[in-house]
């Protein structure tokens, strides 16, 4: 393992390190570097607090590090300044006392000191009032850029004077004092930081991010043949499910592989990362990966790759080791729900997934709707009945008409013949060519006349004068445990040219038989003959002002101590937000919607808007937050704790801002879809 490659991914930088739970990394064997005098006297028992940090061993004895792998490369010690006791400073054991209140209520309450009030009163005063007793923060060592940073909570309203007092106290009581800088953890804290005295250095999240070289995304261990490729060449270069691939940047799509290393850093909601999360395979970013000497030395060899929380490692393995790993980590076969081919009406979206009777699970209602209308439409139907969630008026074409299209044109028989062909199953190039021929045939095949009449009447009566978007909604996507991100393609057709509508439907149906999609299903043991595609239909977004994706929980804090919404948004609609081109960045931020003052912490800024501006206004961010909060709450009975999920729960949401309906008004928010997020659990091979 590359223990020296400790990092602070953009995820860690955005969170308040002062509240992270963790296990202590005690380095008491280190007596301190030259010039350092340790304060800690005993290595045998836990030190509850120190008034000074005299050496690295003191810091590490009190420090916590993230228990969750999404917060790597940082060690943090919480600090307390007691203004009621002549600004007495305490460095607390941040493992024994994972929050400030636990420490101050135990050590600084009574015995000639004022009593610490109950937790609710403490939280209401100690982060927001000017006459607060305590100034609370944390000192974090970001090992990648080797920065010592003083931080306060993203929602803390401490004045510049309070921050300066805390900073000087920590600076004077620590061995790293001369290296200390203040790191604003939110936009509101940054405003106050601008008022700090000139001698207090301020380090931004961008400064910290620039100093890291390793980004863990999906953690674990995998074994495969180490391949090097460029993302742009993947359309013509076949990868095996037994490969580990090193890429220059994250592609928008990739076939099943054992692991991924990208030279360019990714976003948590990129299709590649969602796929890796779902496959439970390692995915990591590594600067200069394409020229990394250690990786190049193992090019085209069988290797074991480990993506850990703060470091990565690679070693060569034997053929026997590889075979044993692959056999042990075969995914459990996925059985798709049987299609309901009795539903033949074009159903308004509100009626696709009716609310379950009282006492019956929402999850069961979704599962039933999926049988006839697929995952996307089933979830969209629930969105349509949430008052705080704005969506496009829509309807769904049931899977019956896909099945009819396949039967009438003999495509099921063609698929049976392909699956029975040994060369098709073993030769990727042969399989690719055959599937393309199938898709081409589907794109020119006739569509049932009665279905056309039904569809034309629906559009003319309720959706006239606007191009229509035909979106995939299958029984093998947007499902808990098998989201299959990016597996299928949606298309737009203009009813003014009816053949254009038919082309859009045929292309969308044909996307079920793309090579990567086919291989994904094969890897999971899915019977291809059980696939069915319904369609979610609504007006097209012709030229949106912003497009984005969000997670309704904080993917970098699965311990739950800092709940927030993660948002990744870009100006306009031309740039793929989950896979922007090289050199283009999005607005990427955490929105602490349920915290006082609702602070926003930007991780990166869009390169497509003028410097100093953001893609969304504060009003738009709040509007989005209201919708995300409502979505999170509504789907919790289906996928959250009420459904037996005692781990981390979130919904993956796509949204747009568009002014097409009212060009003279500010752009309107539309939620495009919501599906269960696969989570950030360790990959299958992780210890």
Q: Give me the residue label for tokens 């808990």.
A: 480
**Structural domain includes residue 338:** no
Domain termination site, one of 539, 572, 594: 539
- Same domain for 124 and 137? yes
- Same domain for 519 and 627? no
**Structural domain includes residue 631:** yes
**Structural domain includes residue 671:** yes
Domain termination site, one of 513, 539, 565: 539
Task: State how far the Cα of 608 lies from the Cα of 171, in Å rounded to an integer.
Answer: 39
pLDDT 10s digits, 339-383: 999 999 999 999 999 999 888 899 999 999 999 999 999 999 999
Domain termination site, one of 161, 179, 210: 210
* pLDDT of 512 above 50: yes
- Same domain for 242 and 271? yes
Which range is least confidently modeled, 64-68, 191-195, 263-267, 618-622? 64-68
- Same domain for 591 and 504? no
Q: Read off the CATH number of the domain in which 478 is found.
A: 3.30.1490.20
- Same domain for 227 and 172? no
**Structural domain includes residue 372:** yes
Task: State how far the Cα of 230 lies from the Cα of 243, in Å rounded to an integer.
Answer: 14
pLDDT-derived band of residue 484, with 50, 70 and 90 as boundaries? low
The count of structural domains within the chain is 4
pLDDT 10s digits, 117-169: 998 889 878 988 899 999 999 999 988 788 999 999 888 899 999 999 999 99
Q: Read off the CATH number of the domain in which 223 is found.
A: 3.50.30.10
The crossing angle, in degrees rounded to 10, of helices 100-107 and 119-126 is 110
Contact 60, 42 (CB under 8 A): no
pLDDT at position 3: 36
- Same domain for 65 and 160? yes
**Structural domain includes residue 226:** yes
Question: CA 571 → CA 269, 550, 576, 613, distances in Å?
Answer: 17, 15, 10, 11
- Same domain for 375 and 355? yes
Q: What is the DSSP string of 336-347?
A: PPPP-TT--S-E
* pLDDT of 30 above 50: no
- Same domain for 256 and 271? yes
**Structural domain includes residue 110:** yes
**Structural domain includes residue 681:** no
**Structural domain includes residue 45:** yes
Q: Cα-flanking dihedrals φ and ψ of residue 88, to 5°?
A: -60, 135
The arithmetic mean of pLDDT across residues 260-281, rounded, is: 83
Q: In what order do the strands lie in the sheet with 468-474?
A: 347-348, 394-397, 533-539, 468-474, 491-493
Who contacts 492 (Cβ-Cβ below 8 Å, separation ≥6)?
Answer: 467, 468, 469, 470, 504, 540
Q: Residue 510: which domain range?
A: 347-539
- Same domain for 204 and 159? yes
- Same domain for 95 and 202? yes
- Same domain for 134 and 33? yes
- Same domain for 579 and 478? no
């Amino acid at each position: 393992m590359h223990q020296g490659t400790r990092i602070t991914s953009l995820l860690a930088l955005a969170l308040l390190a002062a509240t992270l739970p963790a296990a202590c990394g005690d380095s008491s064997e280190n007596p301190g570097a030259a010039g350092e005098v340790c304060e800690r006297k005993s290595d045998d028992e836990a030190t509850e607090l120190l008034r000074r940090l005299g050496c690295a061993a003191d810091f590490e004895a009190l420090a916590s590090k993230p228990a969750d792998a999404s917060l790597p490369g940082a060690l943090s010690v919480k600090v307390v300044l007691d203004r009621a006791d002549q600004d007495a400073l305490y460095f607390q054991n941040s493992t024994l006392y994972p929050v400030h209140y636990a420490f101050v209520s135990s050590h600084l309450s009574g015995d000639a000191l004022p009593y610490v009030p109950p937790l609710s009163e403490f939280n209401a005063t100690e982060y927001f009032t000017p006459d607060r007793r305590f100034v609370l923060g944390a000192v974090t060592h970001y090992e990648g850029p080797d920065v010592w940073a003083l931080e306060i909570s993203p929602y803390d309203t401490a004045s510049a004077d309070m921050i300066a007092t805390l900073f000087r106290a920590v600076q004077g009581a620590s061995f790293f004092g001369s290296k200390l800088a203040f790191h604003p953890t939110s936009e509101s804290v940054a405003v106050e930081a601008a008022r700090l005295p000139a001698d207090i250095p301020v380090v931004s999240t961008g400064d910290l991010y620039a100093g890291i070289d390793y980004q863990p995304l999906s953690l674990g261990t995998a074994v495969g043949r180490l391949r090097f490729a460029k993302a742009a060449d993947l359309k013509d270069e076949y990868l095996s499910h037994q490969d580990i691939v090193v890429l220059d940047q994250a592609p928008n799509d990739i076939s099943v592989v054992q692991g991924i290393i990208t030279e360019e850093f990714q976003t948590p909601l990129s299709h590649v990362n969602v796929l890796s999360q779902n496959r439970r395979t390692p995915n990591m970013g590594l600067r200069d990966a394409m020229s990394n000497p250690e990786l190049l030395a193992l090019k085209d060899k069988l290797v074991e790759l480990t993506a850990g929380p703060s470091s990565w490692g690679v070693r060569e393995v034997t053929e026997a080791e590889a075979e044993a790993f692959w056999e042990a980590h075969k995914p459990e076969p996925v059985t798709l729900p049987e299609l309901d081919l009795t539903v033949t009406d074009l159903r308004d979206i509100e009626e696709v997934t009716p609310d379950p009777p009282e006492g019956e699970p929402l999850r069961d209602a979704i599962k039933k709707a999926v049988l006839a209308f697929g995952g996307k439409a089933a979830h969209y139907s629930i969105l349509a009945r949430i008052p705080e969630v704005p969506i496009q008026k829509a309807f769904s074409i049931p899977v019956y008409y896909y099945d009819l299209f396949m039967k009438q044109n003999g495509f099921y028989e063609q698929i049976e013949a392909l699956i029975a062909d040994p060369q098709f199953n073993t030769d990727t190039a042969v399989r690719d060519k055959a599937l393309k021929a199938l898709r081409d045939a589907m794109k020119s095949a006739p569509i049932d006349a009665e279905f056309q009449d039904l569809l034309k009447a629906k559009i003319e009566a309720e959706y006239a004068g606007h191009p229509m978007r035909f979106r995939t909604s299958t029984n093998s996507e947007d499902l808990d445990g098998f989201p299959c991100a990016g597996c299928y393609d949606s298309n737009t057709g203009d009813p003014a040219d009816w053949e254009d509508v038919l082309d859009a439907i045929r292309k969308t149906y044909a996307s079920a038989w793309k090579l990567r999609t086919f291989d994904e299903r094969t890897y999971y043991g899915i019977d291809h003959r059980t696939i069915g595609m319904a369609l979610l239909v609504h007006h097209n977004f012709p030229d949106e002002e912003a497009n984005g994706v969000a997670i309704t929980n904080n993917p970098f804090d699965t311990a739950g101590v800092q709940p927030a919404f993660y948002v990744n948004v870009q100006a306009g609609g031309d740039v793929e937000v989950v896979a922007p081109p090289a050199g283009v960045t999005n607005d990427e931020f955490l929105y602490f919607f349920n915290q006082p003052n609702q602070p926003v912490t930007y991780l990166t800024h869009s390169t497509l808007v003028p410097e100093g501006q953001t893609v969304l206004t504060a009003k738009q961010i709040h509007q989005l937050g209201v919708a995300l909060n409502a979505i999170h709450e509504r789907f919790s009975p289906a996928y959250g704790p009420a459904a037996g999920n005692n781990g981390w729960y979130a919904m993956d949401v796509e949204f747009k801002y568009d002014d097409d309906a009212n060009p003279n008004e500010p752009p309107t928010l539309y939620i495009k879809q919501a599906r269960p997020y696969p989570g950030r659990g360790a990959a299958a091979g992780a210890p």
